[in-house]
Structure 1
């Protein structure tokens, strides 16, 4: 595809054949002398035209960036020497399924492993420490994919081995994480900082432990790596245990000057929990827990009793086993063994660690698959409470938990009474369960909005808040569906209305200044989950929102009312439009482009949707006449009417 920019200037009509030839050469990897000569002849038409040509981007990348990314040396050489392409002009390129923004040509060549192009660019003056938008250098890119010769060449030409990306990850850290032993050894020989920490406090030793690179881990220890803790209080030993790398754990616990007795015990217990939840290796877990208990009570020195944790309903009130003989009894009760693993992990990692809530949610999902929905809901609520108490507001993990609840409730409502794959009948969803989660979601919106208000406008990102609002709206939609259910009572109806009123009264705006009613009336709010029990726009939800006080004529940043957004849906949902109009929406309000509801309808006539006569008010008609004939009204009519006239 060609850039829109190319078609915007007439002068490119004669240059386009040149660009096309360049991309044919790049895409098909065919370099022919005659083609190069043709490009040269066209490029001689004018320096300005050539400069615009080589600076033009296709899918976010210039011809030089594309050539460097794909290893086309002749094209890169020609663009640099004959067309004088900018060596530092960045572009967007795809690596391993991820879009890299602001990647300079040298970074692209280094990341892709094209040593010849790296040499070409540096010989022509490319800056060796230039970075991407995330502050990744060409050297770090080469370390990521294990291109040792490029690493050496870049270092020889001035690359700084200590430049970290925006997360504080250095070249040594990424080489260790990716398991590139020779690169790690080379960087260490250059005195790379072995104990340097990232933004989140992890070191290269953490990265080795997480990835399972034992040889590199031994190398780091030889160079003086220490057992530091990251921001979660995790040592490399615990990092290896939580990821299930038993060979790393077994190696480290035998080094007494690095690992204390308590750290050794915790690592064995955590590794056992990982065997239960990640590897489904019950026998392996029991053996590890027995070793840990023996070391705890019969090892060198006095016993180290387990810290007693409060009994938790979500864990079936299990108490951690302290007697090795009692461990064997777990083999006949797999459920208790799984709960033991959850209790153990929470004690060792703490509630703030992501893996603590992750495995609680994982266990809940396993119960849901088995048809034990109550156990799932109980565990997921416990994990959600943990996240909301420990994480910053609007955290992606909290969002994920809320979304999982939405999918679960949607599935239960859609499959109620049917048998699942294990022969269990899907039960009715309990309205109190949805209300409980809904109220937590509303609280997340409220506190998340307050958090954002404390952040300067330039740094404020409203996307997370918008996502939580949309998820909460889907929960509200599920609640409104229950209003018509045969089990719905007057008390349930009041509770649902009260909960949705609490949401509406917050008056919080999502992206583009949209309120809850806006979101309920447009298709953009639809969550593409596996079990879409609610379709958006939703007339049922809009009606309840209006009933509890939502403003039918509220406008977003573009001046669109909920009725405008409904009109933009193809086709416009008749039910939503009628609900809005029946509850006070003005059919002739205009947005900032001067468009009304009827103006925005596509392939539909307004009379096919509503009876305009029924919803046209005399006051609205008068306001339109004033606007149409530009009759001066400010200072003439009461102030309260000025805004009314203005929007017609």
Structure 2
């Protein structure tokens, strides 16, 4: 019994056997060992871990028809679900296992059960392009116009994946053109993904308006520029749209007036005539700005693709050595994300992290190496401080509305600290006013008293060599932790040197675990009031955490940092003198830590 219930990487023997199609093993575990036929486990499909997957789900997802029939015959529930509310039927629909789909439906599987995102079996069959399964589900009466949590329908999924035959079939079964939560129609979804054949088919439908056709063609042209790198194709699409705007005998549909221009787009304005469009062939860079303008106008700033392609274009400029253009576009995208998305959104995290990598590259040895071949400019103080301000704002917004995943706050806090680390490296070259602004921003960050993983404060993180977000951070020594410069600035801004994390460790204890512990870092903490003989939650002092390879005297003179108060506390603890309730209450934690 213990054997069949034992889990390896979250999977029981029965789950593993079903995942891999070992029929004989499945039969033995169920019939001879009385394995629980419904006990879920964790399995990996296409690199993604599926939590809480029942054995039947695993067999259906992997396409092992014989195992599926055996489990159902032994009483497995055909409507069992994973932690994300995915059923065995939906799993079979995902990878196109038609015979399994038919069998599960015959055994009572509910075709309308959706996963936690509201995606139904029909939607996933349409998205994956499984015509036979989609046709089968439609014949059974699947709801063709059902919406997911984000408002998309099966038509959206077909348009996004490029499945024209299934899209036609859906329309024949009564599918209607509707908008999702971003205001996207299926035709716009096809334009965003670059599926010209879908757009061309939908434009011909009588229910599609002229304005909808214009928007689809213009957006498709933007996709041709940024995704397909087809300038000629994009220009032809934009010219078609322009002709539709001014079609003979019909009311004119001019582009909406552009009241303001965007600095990040170099104050470009959308072209409003065929002649202006023709001139774009001589200016590819202006054509790229047109694509960004069109996408923002049609999709709006809330759509993820709007900021994504602004960031993409900035990255292309960075690769070409045009760093100021990159910073300008990335700043614009970050402003857009912080205005439109919830705090600590992964897309905002990614933008802040990209800035950190870019500035680290420009300030580090990598930038100097590239500079031998082309000029890498110095990081602008204003650019650095503006991004640091935005990172601090993101931490503040995250604290005001705590996220479901605390890891998001930790990531943004670490990014903010790495940016602060880079900012303080600029201080020697700055004037008094600029230095004060930098310290004021760091003070704001410290004042938030944000706590990350294991209850780490900003000071703990700055003292930890394990605070890197990803391995590639170690490519950039300019912002590597622990950082004595950053720690000094945090202490100057009022960081509490005595604050303890969830393990009872102070920043000094965290610093001691670095290999080796930087002497200047430890001395900066000690000079600010850290106690050399304070013990962490495991009862170890700074010297004990250093280990024999790095004796304490190589870092500091212990006598210089030992106070009478410390000696008195150690004496009380060494002689087991009762002190709780006998000394002022505010001194009790001090004595306890010694």
CA 615–116 in structure 1, closer or farther in 2 if over 3 Å, else same: same
Cα separation, 2, equivalents of 1:568 and 1:524:
10
Q: Please give the residue correspondences for 1:495-534 in structure 2 after superposition, counting only pairs within 5 Å.
A: 495-527=437-469, 528-529=471-472, 531-532=475-476, 533-534=478-479
Cα separation, 2, equivalents of 1:145 and 1:300:
50
- Per mean C-alpha deviation after superposition, the further-off stretch among 631-640 and 213-222 is 631-640
Deviations 1:401-432 (A, max 9, x none): 000000110111124455469x5311111111
Q: Please give the residue correspondences for 1:71-110 in structure 2 after superposition, counting only pairs within 5 Å.
A: 71-110=21-60
2:505 is the counterpart of 1:560: yes
How many angstroms does 1:603 deviate by? Answer: 4.7
How many angstroms does 1:606 deviate by? Answer: 3.0
Equivalence for 1:483 = 427
2:470 is the counterpart of 1:548: no
Aligned residue among 111, 116, 134 for 1:184 = 134
Cα separation, 2, equivalents of 1:261 and 1:437:
42
Cα separation, 2, equivalents of 1:114 and 1:603:
57
Cα separation, 1, equivalents of 2:418 and 2:430:
19
Unaligned runs of 5+ in 1: 1-50
Maintained 8 Å contact 1:418/1:426: no
Q: Number of aligned residue pairs: give it.
A: 588
- Per mean C-alpha deviation after superposition, the further-off stretch among 558-567 and 625-634 is 625-634
Cα separation, 2, equivalents of 1:253 and 1:132:
40
Maintained 8 Å contact 2:85/2:115: yes
Maintained 8 Å contact 2:413/2:450: no
Q: Please give the residue correspondences for 1:96-495 in structure 2 after superposition, counting only pairs within 5 Å.
A: 96-257=46-207, 259-298=208-247, 301-309=250-258, 310-414=260-364, 415-419=366-370, 423-452=373-402, 460-484=404-428, 487-495=429-437
Cα separation, 2, equivalents of 1:297 and 1:461:
51
CA 526–54 in structure 1, closer or farther in 2 if over 3 Å, else same: same
How many angstroms does 1:519 deviate by? Answer: 0.5
How many angstroms does 1:526 deviate by? Answer: 1.7
Cα separation, 2, equivalents of 1:606 and 1:127:
64
Cα separation, 2, equivalents of 1:191 and 1:600:
67
For residue 279 of structure 1, give the secondary structure of its aligned residue in structure 2: coil
Maintained 8 Å contact 1:407/1:529: no
Maintained 8 Å contact 2:219/2:298: yes
Runs of 4 or more, structure 1, over 6 Å off, are none
Maintained 8 Å contact 1:560/1:591: yes
Maintained 8 Å contact 1:523/1:537: yes
For residue 100 of structure 1, give the secondary structure of its aligned residue in structure 2: strand
CA 541–254 in structure 1, closer or farther in 2 if over 3 Å, else same: same
Cα separation, 1, equivalents of 2:280 and 2:71:
64
For residue 366 of structure 1, give the secondary structure of its aligned residue in structure 2: helix
- Per mean C-alpha deviation after superposition, the further-off stretch among 523-532 and 426-435 is 523-532
Cα separation, 2, equivalents of 1:200 and 1:125:
35
Cα separation, 2, equivalents of 1:488 and 1:349:
41
Aligned residue among 586, 590, 593 for 1:644 = 590
For residue 444 of structure 1, give the secondary structure of its aligned residue in structure 2: helix
Q: TM-score, normalised by structure 2?
A: 0.96
CA 420–301 in structure 1, closer or farther in 2 if over 3 Å, else same: farther
How many angstroms does 1:64 deviate by? Answer: 0.8
For residue 308 of structure 1, give the secondary structure of its aligned residue in structure 2: coil
Aligned residue among 567, 572, 581 for 2:517 = 572
Cα separation, 1, equivalents of 2:36 and 2:58:
14
Unaligned runs of 5+ in 2: none
CA 273–493 in structure 1, closer or farther in 2 if over 3 Å, else same: same
For residue 52 of structure 2, give the secondary structure of its aligned residue in structure 1: strand
CA 149–492 in structure 1, closer or farther in 2 if over 3 Å, else same: same
CA 300–342 in structure 1, closer or farther in 2 if over 3 Å, else same: farther
Cα separation, 2, equivalents of 1:520 and 1:96:
37
Maintained 8 Å contact 2:484/2:524: yes
For residue 529 of structure 1, give the secondary structure of its aligned residue in structure 2: helix
Cα separation, 2, equivalents of 1:636 and 1:55:
54
For residue 525 of structure 1, give the secondary structure of its aligned residue in structure 2: coil
Q: TM-score, normalised by structure 1?
A: 0.88
How many angstroms does 1:210 deviate by? Answer: 0.5
CA 67–439 in structure 1, closer or farther in 2 if over 3 Å, else same: same
